[in-house]
Amino acid sequence: MGLVGIVLVSHSEQLASGLRDLLRQVATPEVPIIAAGGTPDGDLGTSPDRLAEAIAAADSGDGVIILADLGSAVLTARAVLEEAPGPLLVDAPFVEGAVAAAVTASTGAGLEEVAEAAREARDVPKF
């Protein structure tokens, strides 16, 4: 049995990788967490090819959620999903949603439960 995978889509490779590193601190090592940030030449932007590769790498059989940082990352994710439906693009805060999703995925929760945890992070006050 696999766990729900998490793909982090950002305009910045450093931002996506940094968030992935944070999630590795809160999730069990078995949760597939893949960063898909920046362009192949190291610039800011989102790469459909990188995203498609990240989805494949994160898929251990129990589904994949995608969290995106900004609007055009969402547009890129939607375009990729038109070609390869299955993963779930989740409308959630990038950092807080990713943390909630990673912790929930660590428990062995299913795709919808992991996605809902990410969404609910929007309503958790910071103080």
Q: What amino acid positions are annotated as catalytic residues?
A: 11
Using an 8 Å Cβ cutoff, are 11 and 37 in contact? yes
Long-range contacts at 35-39 (CB < 8 A, ≥ 24 apart): 35/7, 35/8, 35/10, 36/7, 36/8, 36/9, 36/10, 37/8, 37/9, 37/10, 37/11, 37/12, 37/13, 38/10, 38/11, 38/12, 38/13, 38/14
**Nearest-angstrom CA–CA distance, 107 and 46:** 30
Give the single-character DSSP code of 122.
G
